Amino acid sequence: MTKFVFFTGGVVSSLGKGLSAAALGALLQARGYKVRVRKLDPYLNVDPGTMSPFEHGEVFVTDDGAETDLDLGHYERFTGVSARRSDNVTTGRIYSEVLAKERRGDFLGGTVQVIPHVTDAIKNFAIADLQDEDFVLCEIGGTVGDIESLPFLEAIRQLGNQLGPQRSMFVHLTLVPYLAAAGELKTKPTQHSVKELQRVGIQPDMVVCRCERPIPAEQRKKIALFCNIESAAVVQGIDVDTIYQVPVEYHEQGLDNQVLRHFGLDTSKTPDLSRWTDIVKRIRAPEGEVNVAIVGKYVGLKDAYKSLAEALVHGGIANNSRVKLNWLESEIFEGDVAVGSLEGVDAILVPGGFGERGSRGKIRAARFAREHKVPFFGICFGMQMAVIEAAQNLAEIRGAGSTEFGPCDDPVVGLLTEWQQGEMTQRRRVGGNLGGTMRLGAYPAKLEKNSRLAEIYRREEISERHRHRYEVNIHYREPLEAAGLRFSGLSPDGTLPETVELDGHPWFVGVQFHPELKSRPFEPHPLFTSFIAAAIDQSRLV
């Protein structure tokens, strides 16, 4: 029977609930259990796909084409279990389902209410689409006390009752701040936050306290007393230098043991965490260091490129190298002066993006990389900008542009109006809905024999995750290939360019998909491993 661990958070947001759930997932796996990690998000958007990355950070795309919260990326990276559409839901989706049922007449004669209709829909979601999982770790987004999280807390309260303590557990994350003026760690916010949770009828079984400094036993006892739990159920989550240390740290603090004790499971065996300690060792003591410039629009918020930053770390781990990331705002390259800030970097990456603002800067960055023979990696929008650059300056198609920015003479990148998804044809038109209508999720691609891409993947058939509305126009293949930009990967029907590479350049690759979404610490994505290897070669040239 599947057991459920619900994670709530209090005091402040950004406590790392997602990482804590992911780390517990990894610890339970290390003991041989099968886990799924899910997230319930209280905001009203149907999914995060329409939100600005500044607002919400990266949108994580699953194989089955769902646009989800970035915490699902942590879950995948820590547990290796591919997330699915059924692992993330929002208030918006819950309500649209309930309202669609109401319109259909499913509740005919009844008054539709938050309790029980909305809460039932949430509960159904939390327990849906499971097979033989031993544990489902379910994170509730937001902070206890928010108006919008109330239906979710009510739903998990009911679920806890229905399942009973043998099958459910509540873990509450809080912050224990250090007040320099008083020279003390403060437990009051934790006490208040737990009270808030108790007010809605949830008694946490464990309190995880995020802190900058170790919490002395006395303070833990105090928290236990006020929160109505035993001292062993107060677990400290101290800040660490790399997120891959989190499972080891939590294990040392007794997190997994306490969870197992709650469910009456065996704690006598010590789990083998050597893969985690090894990886942390490699991250902490690399042999070399490379500088990678990331030229993007959302560089002010690191969460906007979460999976990308992690994938670069993974590429570094694979090459025993520290990857230093220089986040550069693409708009600065629109003036003449700033290209100088790319001099001396070992590699340049232009990530995914949307809209015209900053696009000229990305095109200039691609040109710099091409002309100065600096390793270049263009991802999705980054590939599109690199193709426009090559079209304008190599193939001399002067009017080359993307219709994403309005009409242009040579739409080298254009709106994707029709494509194959398995047996089905997907159709889109100008002016259609923007939410959930991109080409989303895993699609196969065929790589050309003897291409650099096939060499990197060591395969000719690949499957990668996509999230785009525009596409490089296959009709420009001939002039671009004649100018040296090879279309080395295509959709199986040969109509959609999936990868490009530049002949006679040390490493110049563009991909229409998002390889960063599939990179994991124990399985670094081959493109990132190869890209960092090229950056290392480049660093040796200087």
242 Cβ contact partners less than 8 Å away, ≥ 6 residues apart = 280, 283, 284
E-only strand ranges, 113-216: 135-140, 168-175, 178-179, 184-185, 206-211
Measured from the CB atom, the residue of 246 and 385 that comes closer to ligand GLN is 385
CA nearest neighbour of 297 among 351, 338, 367, 377: 351
In terms of CB distance, is 275 or 469 closer to ligand GLN?
469
142 φψ region: left (φ > 0), alpha (ψ -120 to 50), beta (else): left
Residue 103-132 contact track with ligand GLN, rule CB under 6 A, x = bound: ------------------------------
CB of 365 to ligand GLN, least distance (A): 15
Q: Which residues of 343-372 are buried (b: 16+ CB within 10 A; e: fewer)?
A: eebbbbbbbbbbeeebbbbbbbbbbbbbee
Q: Is the peptide bond before 116 cis (omega within 30 degrees of 0)?
A: yes
- DSSP secondary structure, 354-418, as one string: -SSTTHHHHHHHHHHHHHTT--EEEETHHHHHHHHHHHHHTS--TTEEEGGGS--SEEEEEE--E
Q: Which is nearer to ligand GLN, 152 or 305 (CB)?
A: 305
Q: What residues numbered 220-249 form the site for ligand GLN, per CB under 6 A?
A: none
Would you say 7 or 487 has its CB closer to ligand GLN? 487
CB of 527 to ligand GLN, least distance (A): 15
Least spacing, CB of residue 404 vs ligand GLN, in Å? 5
Chain positions 380 to 399 lying near ligand GLN, rule: CB under 6 A, are: 380-381
Min dist CB 157 to ligand GLN, Å, is 38
Edge-first strand listing for the sheet containing 400-402: 400-402, 410-415, 470-472
Q: Which stretch binds ligand GLN (CB under 6 A): 271-279, 298-306, 307-315, 346-354?
A: 346-354
353 sits near ligand GLN (criterion: CB under 6 A): yes
Per DSSP, the three-state class of 208 is strand
Selected range binding ligand GLN among 201-209, 255-263, 348-356, 425-433, rule: CB under 6 A: 348-356
Between 404 and 501, CB nearer to ligand GLN: 404
Q: How far is CA 509 from the centre of its chain?
A: 22
State whether the Cα torsion 351-357-363-365 is positive or negative. Answer: negative
Instruction: Provide Rg for the chain, Cα atoms.
Output: 25
Comparing CA positions, the residue from 278, 494, 257, 513 lying closest to residue 384 is 513
Q: Which of 404, 410, 464, 516 binds ligand GLN (CB under 6 A)?
A: 404
CB of 352 to ligand GLN, least distance (A): 3
Structure tokens at 310: 């992690």
Count of residues binding ligand GLN (CB under 6 A)?
Answer: 10
Residue closer to ligand GLN, measured from CB, 194 or 328: 328
Please identify which residue in 48, 92, 141, 352 interacts with ligand GLN, judged by CB under 6 A.
Answer: 352
Q: Is there binding between residue 56 and ligand GLN (CB under 6 A)?
A: no
Nearer to ligand GLN, 470 or 487 (CB): 470
Minimum distance, C-beta of residue 86 to ligand GLN, in the bound complex (Å): 23
Angle at 180 between CA 176 and CA 184, to 5 degrees: 50
Residue selected from 33, 263, 354, 405 as contacting ligand GLN according to rule CB under 6 A: 354
Element (H, E) at 166: none
The window from 63-71, 178-186, 256-264, 352-360 that contacts ligand GLN (CB under 6 A) reads: 352-360
Q: Is 151 in the site for ligand GLN (CB under 6 A)?
A: no
Site for ligand GLN in 423-482 (CB under 6 A): 467-470
61: which strand partners? 67
Smallest gap from Cβ 121 to ligand GLN, in A, equals 30
Residue 139's Cβ-side half-sphere holds a number of Cα atoms within 13 Å equal to 32
Question: Which residues are catalytically annotated?
Answer: 380, 514, 516
Closest residue to ligand GLN, based on beta-carbon distance: 352
Of 34 and 469, CB closest to ligand GLN? 469
Burial class (CB in 10 A: 0-12, 13-18, 19+), 398: exposed
Q: Which residues bind ligand GLN (CB under 6 A)?
A: 352-354, 380-381, 404, 467-470
